[in-house]
A and B are shown apart, each in its own frame.
Chain A
Amino acid sequence: MKTHRWFTPWILTIPALAWLLVFSVWPSINTLRLSFTDAKPLGGTADFVGVRNYSDMLHDPQVWTALLNSAVYMAVCLPLLTILPLLIAVLVEKKLPFIAFFRTAFYVPVIASAVVVGLMWTWLLDDRGLINNLVRWLHVVQEPVPFLTDRWLVLISAISLTVWKGLGYYMIVYLAALGNVRKDLHEAAAIDGAGPVRRFLTVTVPGVRGTMFLVAVLVSVSALRVFSELFILTGGKGGPGGKDQSLVMLIQQYAGGFYGDLGYASSLSVLLFVVTLIPMIVLARLNNRAEK
């Protein structure tokens, strides 16, 4: 039976397809091409410069610092954002009165702009802000903790912000997966006398293992892509001596202005892509091994 004319699906698909080709596929190819040129933000001709951008990159201390920051960022975010949201999901899974309110409230940091939460945390972490007041009130330290001016503390502050903002998002991902964990296994374990902790480790965790790997991949990739948190917390300067920059911050810096360099920014983009592949490949392998 003829259900439609041959061109109907194409009429429906072509706008989306055109967008995909113009704004995703072509930019991917063009990123690679641009990385071998000296293209400038203000236009003009771009000349082929061979691998110069890449060799510059290898000798650029800022790039190495950014890679170090990314590694630290990922190493801290990965365990925290893989485990904490699962615990919260278990907490909001049970249907108690007001549970819908709690679920929605926990999701609020996700929907707020990174700029909004960045400015919010800048105030909280200020020398005279709430957190420093609290720390002094507890008599932990005498002087204010330089959360926003110390090279490593800035990074830790940005990581806390990322973790805080990510809790609700991954909670929802886990909540979806928890629905598929078999209830009878929980009950059987409870009858066998297993406590909540034991049941969590022997029933819940194996039941959502696949999702945990998915979350781990999403967390690592987004840790490597960090931009707004570091940008806002450091007022766009990248911390003391520009030491708290991420790869994306470097890309943004070279993207505009008189001193911009789109060729160099593109080679940094290629580096970013390669770096994000690493956790994907490693975690996919681990997942395969765990399934055997």
Chain B
Amino acid sequence: MTTTDVRPQVHADKSDGPLKRRPEVSGREKLLRYVLLLFVLVITVGPFLWQLSTSLKGAGEDIYTATPSFIPKQPTLDNYAKVAEAIPVWRYIGNSLLVAALTVGGNILFATAAGYAIARLRFRGRRVVLGLFLGTLVLPGEVTIIAQYVTVRSFGLADTLAGVALPGMVAALNVLLMYNAFRALPQEVDEAAIVDGATVPQRLWRVSLPAVRGTLAVVAIFAFIQAWDDFLWPLIVLTSPEKLTLTVGLQYLSGTFTQDQRLIAAGTMIAFIPIAILFSALQRYFFKGVEEGGVKG
């Protein structure tokens, strides 16, 4: 009920309206806008840069001084190497990647299939199915997390990575996003394909899927980010130290024997940089997908 109604048109046609185009932004307004933009930029991105800077500072540089410098005096990657000595970081990255891959694969496959069927095929019970998917959106995930753990445990999957990945492999929201995207396609393309004798898989694969690539990208990006960033669920499911995902494992950098902020900073950068690269590489698709038909996060 809360999430489906966001149907954006970020770049709506500017030429509508009977009046002439608005005058160009004046020089003073432009300057003011850039000043404000830079101010917000410092607030949103500044902390990340500060963390990056801390992670590159060597043991010889005092990071606790009252006048710390933003640029590391002798930049070094030592702290990154030390992270691997303090926690099995490579194993944690592998664990996180496995969970993320399962989550992305499951959502792409099953949300596409279900979204397509509900949007483009008529069948008895279609409305009930759609209603079920919509209904679960009102329920915050944290409410059912205990019962979900009981279910996963009864499958014998407590303290396994499969148990971490399984519940997230199909998200109702993704089914609805794909449903929205498929529903927006004109009916005629299907009809033409039906006349040509195309079967359902052919119509889905050749006709509809290429038209919803943007939404598919949004589903994939967010399934990955969600799985990679998740904390509470793996924290509940996993207990063995060697099975932890990266977010849960990172805590051990700050918790136990060390309290070296350089080390913690390096650890957080290891968890953050892959996501940042992925997002900046795919942000074009993301903003396009947002226009195509839905916002989620």
Contacts and interface: CB of A to CB of B under 8 A. Distances in A.
Contacts of A214: 2, 5-6
A54 B256 CA distance: 36
Given A172-B290, A251-B145, A179 B9 contact: yes
Contact of A30 (B151, B190, B225): B151
B231 A228 contact: yes
B276 A111 contact: yes
A91 B51 contact: no
A182 B19 CA distance: 12
Contact of A175 (B10, B36, B142, B146): B10
Interface stretch (A64-72, A151-159, A162-170): A162-170
Q: Secondary structure of the B side of the interface?
A: helix
Given A31-B144, A179-B12, A106 B132 contact: no
A78 interface: no
B41 interface: yes
Interface in B125-169: 126, 129, 132-133, 136, 138-140, 142-151, 153, 166-167, 169
Given A108-B45, A115-B251, A184 B18 contact: yes
A108 B139 contact: no
Interface in A16-43: 16-17, 19-20, 22-28, 30-31, 34, 39, 41, 43
A119 B169 contact: no
B170 A121 contact: no
**Interface range for A:** 35 or more
B144 A28 contact: yes
Interface string A215-226: 001100100110
Contact of A111 (B54, B126, B275, B291): B275
B126 A9 contact: yes
Contacts of B139: 24, 28, 273
Contact of B140 (A119, A231, A272): A272
A183 B17 contact: yes
Contacts of A126: 261
B2 A183 contact: no
B113 to A, nearest CB: 4
Contact of B272 (A113, A167, A184): A113
B170 A19 contact: yes
A130 B147 contact: no
Nearest to A31: B147
B142 A251 contact: yes
A120 to B, nearest CB: 5
B198 to A, nearest CB: 10
Given A16-B175, A27-B147, A102-B37, A255 B10 contact: no
Nearest to A166: B297
B30 to A, nearest CB: 7
A122 interface: yes
A221 B143 CA distance: 12
Contacts of A107: 279, 283
B80 interface: no
Given A102-B41, A187-B19, A3 B194 contact: yes
B48 interface: yes
A183 B11 CA distance: 12
B258 interface: no
Given A12-B113, A108-B45, A108-B276, A187 B22 contact: yes
B33 A96 contact: yes
List of 4 A-B pairs having minimum Cβ-Cβ separation, nearest first: A176-B8, A184-B17, A16-B114, A113-B229
20 contacts: A10-B123, A23-B167, A24-B139, A26-B147, A34-B147, A43-B153, A92-B37, A112-B275, A113-B247, A115-B250, A115-B268, A119-B254, A119-B267, A119-B268, A211-B6, A214-B5, A232-B251, A255-B146, A256-B236, A273-B139
Interface of B: 2-3, 5-12, 14, 16-19, 22, 25, 30, 33-34, 36-37, 40-41, 43-45, 47-48, 50-51, 54, 64, 66-68, 109-111, 113-114, 116-118, 121-123, 126, 129, 132-133, 136, 138-140, 142-151, 153, 166-167, 169-170, 172, 175, 190, 194, 199-200, 225, 228-232, 235-236, 239, 247-248, 250-251, 253-255, 261, 264-265, 267-268, 271-272, 275-276, 279-280, 283, 287, 290-291, 295, 297
Interface of A: 1, 3-4, 6, 8-10, 12-13, 15-17, 19-20, 22-28, 30-31, 34, 39, 41, 43, 88, 91-92, 94, 96, 100, 102-117, 119-124, 126, 128, 130, 133, 136-137, 164, 167-169, 172-173, 175-177, 179-180, 182-184, 186-188, 190, 211, 214, 217-218, 221, 224-225, 227-228, 231-232, 235-236, 248, 251-252, 255-256, 262, 265-266, 269-270, 272-273, 276, 280
